[in-house]
Amino acid sequence: MVPTKLLEHLRSICLSLPEVTEALKWGHPTFLAGKKMFAVLDTYEGEPCIAFRVPPERWDALLEDDRFYPAPYAARHGWVCMRAGGRIDWRDVEGLLQESYRLVALKRMLAALDADETWRGR
């Protein structure tokens, strides 16, 4: 089970992005841009984690940081997990989730995101 505050904070970030919905997939809160997943709140080995997509050119650098590890079952598809059991820098998380969203969002969604003043410059 994931902490309620963690889910609430993740929800506030993800659902503020254009055309994002939340669904329960494999028992985990999952965020979709249209029909494509870009973020999942999971628990791995008893620790909550936020899973998201990463561009291939960022994969190695991100995994050098101890907070991150390849997502079980999805790493081959470009997914990484961030440990979320301790202190979280939510500004970093916002940037990572936006980057993940941009990998799967449709052009109209990206145009809406780029036009949104609240996301510009993050």
Domain of residue 69, CATH code: 3.90.1150.30
Q: Cα(28)–Cα(24) distance, rounded to whole angstroms? A: 5
Domain-located, residue 101: yes
| Dihedral of alpha carbons 86, 91, 94, 95, sign | negative
Task: Give the residues across from 51 on adjacent strands.
Answer: 40, 81
The per-residue pLDDT for range 11-43, each reduced to its tens digit, is 999 999 999 999 998 888 999 999 999 999 998
Domain-located, residue 120: no
Which distant-in-sequence residues (6+ apart) come within 8 Å of 85 by Cβ?
47, 48, 49
- CB–CB of 13/7 below 8 Å? no
| Mean pLDDT, residues 30-57 taken together | 93
Domain-located, residue 66: yes
Pairing mode of beta strands 28-33, 36-44: antiparallel
pTM of the model: 0.90
Check residue 71 and report its DSSP letter.
P
Domain-located, residue 16: yes
Domain with 101, as residue range(s), is 4-109
Asked if residue 121 has pLDDT above 60, the reply is no
Residue 72, both tokens: 């079980």
Asked if residue 1 has pLDDT above 60, the reply is no
